[in-house]
Chains A and B, each alone.
Chain A
Amino acid sequence: MASDWRPTATVTALRERALIVSTLRAFFEARGSLEVETPHLVASPGVDAHLDAPSVALDGRTLYLATSPEYAMKRLLAAGSGAIHQLGAAFRAGERGRLHEPQFTMLEWYEPGADDAGCMDTTEALVRAAASVHDGKLRFGGEESDASVGGPAFARTTFRDAFSAVTGTDPLHPDTGRLGRLLRAAGVRTESACSSEELIDLTLGAVVQPELGLDVPVFVTDWPADRAGLARLRPGRDRDGAIAAARFELYACGVELCNGYHELSDPLEQRARIEQENALRRAMDKVPYPVDEQFLAALEAGLPDCAGNALGIDRLVTLVLGLDSIGASRTFLAGC
Chain B
Amino acid sequence: MAVLQHTDLRKGVKIELDGQPFLIIDSDFVKPGKGQAFTRCRVKNYLNGNTIERTIKSNEKIDKADIESTTCQYLYADGEYFHFMDGTTYDQYRFTEENVGECVKWLAENIEYNVLFWNGRALSVEAPNHVELEITQCDPGVAGNTAQGATKPATLSTGAIVNVPLFVNENDWIRVDTRTGDYTERVKK
Interface residues of A (CB under 8 A from B): 48, 50, 94-100, 187-192, 194, 197-198, 200-202, 204-206, 208-209, 220, 223, 227, 229, 249, 256, 259, 284
Q: Which residues of A contact B54 (CB under 8 A)?
A: 189-191
Q: Are B28 and A97 in contact (CB under 8 A)?
A: yes
Q: Are A191 and B32 in contact (CB under 8 A)?
A: no
Q: Are B7 and A227 in contact (CB under 8 A)?
A: no
B147 → chain A closest CB, angstroms = 34
Q: How far is the CA of A75 from the CA of B58 in the complex (A)?
A: 33
Q: How far is the CA of A204 from the CA of B32 in the complex (A)?
A: 6
A65 → chain B closest CB, angstroms = 16
Top 5 closest pairs, chain A to chain B, by CB: A97-B29, A201-B35, A204-B32, A205-B30, A205-B32
Question: B57 near A: Cβ within 8 Å?
Answer: yes
Question: B59 near A: Cβ within 8 Å?
Answer: yes
Q: Which residues of B contact A190 (CB under 8 A)?
A: 38, 54-57
Please give me the residue from chain A that is nearest to B39 by CB atom: A97
Q: Which residues of A contact B19 (CB under 8 A)?
A: none
Q: How far is the CA of A189 from the CA of B56 in the complex (A)?
A: 8
Question: B122 near A: Cβ within 8 Å?
Answer: no
Secondary structure class of chain A's binding surface, majority of residues: mixed
A263 → chain B closest CB, angstroms = 15
Q: Which residues of A contact B28 (CB under 8 A)?
A: 97-98
B39 → chain A closest CB, angstroms = 8
Contact A189/B53 with A94-B6, A97-B28, A100-B29 known, Cβ cut-off 8 Å: yes
Partner of B55, one of A95, A100, A206, A209: A206
Please give me the residue from chain A that is nearest to B36 by CB atom: A201
Q: Are A259 and B59 in contact (CB under 8 A)?
A: no
Q: Are B35 and A227 in contact (CB under 8 A)?
A: yes
Partner of A48, one of B34, B39, B56, B62: B34
Question: B40 near A: Cβ within 8 Å?
Answer: yes
Partner of B32, one of A94, A100, A201, A284: A201
Q: Which residues of A contact B187 (CB under 8 A)?
A: none
Partner of A95, one of B17, B31, B34, B40: B31
Q: Which residues of A contact B62 (CB under 8 A)?
A: 191
Interface size for chain B: under 10, 10 to 19, 20 to 34, or 35 or more residues? 20 to 34
Q: Which residues of A contact B31 (CB under 8 A)?
A: 50, 95, 100, 205
CB within 8 Å of A: which B1-48 residues: 5-7, 17, 27-40
Q: Are A94 and B7 in contact (CB under 8 A)?
A: yes
Q: Are A202 and B55 in contact (CB under 8 A)?
A: yes
Q: Which residues of A contact B35 (CB under 8 A)?
A: 50, 200-201, 204-205, 227
Question: B60 near A: Cβ within 8 Å?
Answer: yes
Please give me the residue from chain A that is nearest to B62 by CB atom: A191
Q: How far is the CA of A187 from the CA of B29 in the complex (A)?
A: 15
Q: How far is the CA of A202 from the CA of B40 in the complex (A)?
A: 10
Q: Are B30 and A206 in contact (CB under 8 A)?
A: yes
B71 → chain A closest CB, angstroms = 20
Q: Are B7 and A96 in contact (CB under 8 A)?
A: yes
Q: Are A95 and B57 in contact (CB under 8 A)?
A: no
Q: How far is the CA of A198 from the CA of B31 in the complex (A)?
A: 11
Q: How far is the CA of A205 from the CA of B17 in the complex (A)?
A: 23
Q: How far is the CA of A96 from the CA of B53 in the complex (A)?
A: 19
Q: Are A96 and B29 in contact (CB under 8 A)?
A: yes
Q: How far is the CA of A201 from the CA of B33 in the complex (A)?
A: 8
Q: How far is the CA of A12 from the CA of B56 in the complex (A)?
A: 36
Q: Which residues of A contact B37 (CB under 8 A)?
A: 50, 94-95
Q: Indicate the member of A194, A208, A220 with the most B CB atoms within 10 Å.
A: A194
Q: How far is the CA of A273 from the CA of B149 in the complex (A)?
A: 67
> Can you name 6 extra interface pairs (CB under 8 A) apart from A94-B58, A202-B55, A206-B38?
A97-B29, A187-B40, A190-B55, A190-B57, A200-B35, A220-B33
